[in-house]
Structure 1
Amino acid sequence: MTPKYLTLIIAAALSAVSVSATASGYRFGSQSVSSQGTAEANGAEAGDASTIFANPAGMARLEGRQIMGGVTAVVPHSTFNDEGSTRFTRTSTGGLKSQDDYVPGAVAAPSLYYTQKVNDQWTAGFGMFVPYGTNLSYDWNWAGRYALTNIKLTSVNLNPSIAFKPNEHHAFGFGLNGEFMKASLGQGVDVPGSVAASQAAGTGAALLRQIVAAGGNPAVLANVRDGHATVEGKDWGFGFNLGYMYMPTENTRFGIAYRSSIKHELKGSAGWDFSGVTTDAKVNAILQAASHHVNSAALVELRTPETLSLNGFHQFNDRWAGMFDVTWTKNSRMQNIDIQFPGTESGDEVIRQQWKNTVRVALGANYKVNDNVTLRGGIAHDDAPIRSDELRHAALPDADRVQLSFGANWKVTPNSSIDLAYSYLDFSDARANYTNQCRPGLLTCTGNGETTRGTWSTHMSLVGLSYNYKF
């Protein structure tokens, strides 16, 4: 693959973002359209090149050269209803009490896989897919704006792989992972609350004297508005994945697959906008100085969770096949997200998560209508990693969900086929009672000290289309 085309593929992947990931946490849940048709239950089927993601050992079953390119569209619907969000002063945040347009109407994520049989024992392959993503954009005057106004996470994983088959019953697979991640986050800055708190504490007079001394107009404090902060960063991280497949008979196989954790150091910048806080630029400058917020570098260190999957596949007869997958995810890797501001006197901004490990269970089936058409179906239950309402942040209003999927494979020619898939995901209501444990004006930490209370209700549809070709 030439560097020119590889660059175009990466650009296409980064232009696609999931809206609140379809698997738990920030993980994007569909890396293969054929797999989506069974609710991702077919990890041991190894029927096409997308086995590179599910289990690289499955490449040992593929003949010749195979390529698979697909795209999955995510069509979400989500609403938020406020239930009493407050400032750090424990007064109401005001703002919009409901939200129903903070998710995109639709987004799409591509995938690409290629395998080539080297000889009777070795097969090589390459995969490209979107592992993580989210895209939420709330109104800047919603009730929870001091926790978040917007977040966007995009990523792409490049996964060269090999498989080794010593005999007809065993196969082993190994892959390297180069993962690019880019993120941005915005939130309101509670300047009105800070001014009110200074007046209540008796320090308001000193602020007024400072404004007058600078030639500003203190009267504009009567209509002070929010500031806004933006943080962004990007990074490459590297990991690996392993797979093993046991094939006791031609019709039965079992697989185990592992994907490692990947460390990221997202480096970028933080910007603080106080230009619209009042109509007086001199007052705005004084208020920003009092907040201790300055434009600076930004750094977020994190580790993505590793996964371990066990799966099985059995061909019952010429028409029916059944399959299952159980995937354990070490989401406890994702504890607090600490946003650092190197080179400044500001302490970290901490988004508390303290996630728990999760298990996803999926069951699926294939039905061969005739030599050209195979129908698929599956159902899955996926746990959310969030421990409690007090740890559910607006950046990821996640909840347990059930996925129901249908799919089909249509053989167009002896060497080519098309996969179609549709999935419906129903999320449990997600209630938040999250309090930021910092407050404005402190040097030891950064935060608004807000409490976000409310409930998110979400469901979404996934529509997938892919093309397969065998050389």
Structure 2
Amino acid sequence: MGLLSRSLSLTAVSLAALIVAQGGAQAGAFALREQSATAQGYSFAGAASGSGYLSSMFWNPAVITMAPGWQSEWHASLIIPRVDINPLPSVPTFALGGSGDIGEDALVPAGYSSYQINDMFWVGLSSTSPYGLVTDPRQNWSGQLYSRSSRIFSVNVNPVLGVKVNDWFSFAVGPSLQYFDIRLKRAVPFPGAPAASATLPGAPSAILDGDDVGFGFTAGVTITPFAGTTIGIGYRSQVEHELEGDLSAPFGSIGPFARVPITAKLKTPDQVTIGISQVITPAITVHTGFEWTNWSVLKTPLVIGPGGVAVTDIPLNYEDGFFYSVGADYKLNDQWTLRAGVAYEESPIDTEIRSTRLPDNDRIWASVGASYQWNDRLSFDVAYTHIFSKETDIRILPGHQDFEGLPYLADVDSSVDIVSASLRYRWDDPKVAIPAVPLVRKY
């Protein structure tokens, strides 16, 4: 099988896996950080400086210049969240009870390939799911006026070109194509009944559904100022989507039609990731990481119906998100490498805007992982993470962006476990060197 046909086949397999997967957001807001089993073992410390091997290209595409020959990786993360929203006794709908566990287990796959053309140029391709969310409370519960179920799904395909300028500096850039789909559901009044009927058991639902394909780009650099030190800086651009779909509800609750076509403009945020990896001894390497995500770009997208009239909106108004991490690995022998890491994440969501759809908060990540080198071409990675969330509450009162005339106060009990695994394979013979070309040198 030729290079092109095999690469296309691998991409098709990765995309098929992504399409059947459902995402459970386990980064700030509705982002998915689980793109690498290897980097997860460090709590993503050094992800931009290559701690995740080839999968680090999700954060910094320039790391493909660190992957010799022709390589591919396949990663899968099983996210197991537990999120319960428990209303306070003062809530008017307290008798309907809590949400139950709104978290949905999710399998998030990712695929990466790179090919070294010569000593200067690399090409690569990734297929990932950078955004995802599924929350599904009981159909009848105390907060049904504000949410029933929520789903966000995405697929991103990103080809890149990497250039190794010299021994200490590389860069890469590439376009990204992103499919984004959203479906939001909440209770509404019975047709012809008062607004308060939306809080009754059996109340009907309004469903907002839309999708779109948008375009962006990724770029990054790696710098090796000293032997054993690698600095990586990666950038993922905003992607603007004009969602097209429909808003449906029982006859009479949103106008003369049970279903109306809608559009809504929404931007997914840009992101900067910085990583530093430092070799301490031949067996020990330490990694650190920092990530900024521009969640404040979301604002409040208007949902536009027939005639250009706004029929509702999607109140988001997030703050920016920040992620700080540190980790290390220990090369036990030629086959086994052990790793661990911790991270602190500042959520873009606080009590002023926290909703029943996404009761997110600051959290601490604790991770362990291991790699096993089966032979000079094949290796495996596994990782486990537990996420500890801060004490979280929901306070939807007058002045809150979600307030619909009914106060809703609740406490949130949540925790997350993540188990990941990957397979890394080198298609060419590692013993055959890539033909050398003259490199540009710094003088």
C-alpha offsets along residues 8-29 of structure 1, whole Å, 9 cap, x if unaligned?
532321322232x111011001
2: CA distance, partners of 1:195 / 1:447: 17
Secondary structure of the 2:54 match is coil
**Which residue number in structure 1 is paired with residue 22 of structure 2?**
17
Q: 1:376 is aligned with what amino acid?
A: R
The reply on whether 1:96 has 2:73 as its aligned counterpart is no
**5 Å matches for 1:72-471?**
72-83=77-88, 92-93=92-93, 96-104=96-104, 106-191=105-190, 194-195=193-194, 226-273=203-250, 288=252, 294-343=258-307, 347-387=310-350, 389-435=351-397, 448-470=404-426, 471=428
SS across alignment from 1:312: strand
Of 39, 44, 47, the match for 2:43: 39
1:141-174 Cα distance to aligned partner (Å, 9 max, x none): 1111011100111111101011111110111111
- Check 1:175–1:436 CA distance in 2 against 1; reply closer, same or farther (3 A cut): farther
SS of residue in 2 equivalent to 1:51: helix
RMSD: 2.6
For residues 422 and 232 of structure 1, what CA distance do their matches in structure 2 show?
34
1:26 lines up with 2:27 in the alignment: no
| SS, match of residue 306 in structure 2 | coil
Amino acid at match of 1:415: R
Partner of 2:437: none
Identity level (%): 26
Is 1:38–1:376's contact at 8 Å kept on the other side of the alignment? yes
**Contact residue 137 and residue 148 of structure 2 kept, 8 A:** yes
- Distance in 2 separating the partners of 1:437 and 1:227: 26
| Paired positions, count | 419
Name structure 2 gaps, 5 residues minimum: 429-443
8 Å contact from structure 1 (residues 349, 447) kept in 2: no
Provide the C-alpha distance between the structure 2 equivalents of 1:447 and 1:191, rounded to a whole number of angstroms. 19
Offset from partner CA, 1:423-455 (integer Å, 9 cap, x none): 11011122111258799xxxxxx9954433212
Shift of 1:357: 1.2
Conservation of the 8 A alpha-carbon contact between 1:83 and 1:453: yes
Point out 4+ residue stretches in structure 1 off by more than 6 angstroms.
Answer: 436-439
Per the alignment, residue 61 of structure 1 pairs with: 66
* Cα distance, 1:62 vs structure 2: 1.3
Q: What TM-score comes out, normalization by structure 1 length? A: 0.83
1:199-221 deviation digits (Å, cap 9, x = unpaired): xxxxxxxxxxxxxxxxxxxxxxx
d(CA) in 2 for partners of 1:197 and 1:81? 21
Query: Partner of 1:467: helix, strand, or coil?
Result: strand
- SS of residue paired to 2:38: helix
CA contact (8 A) 1:41 1:325 kept: yes
Q: Is the 8 A contact 1:84 1:452 kept in 2?
A: no
What letter corresponds to residue 93 of structure 1 in structure 2?
T
Partners of 1:96 and 1:289 in 2: CA distance: 23
* Between 241-250 and 376-385, the greater mean CA deviation after superposition: 241-250
Moved more, 244-253 or 77-86: 77-86
Separation in 1 of the partners of 2:352 and 2:335? 52
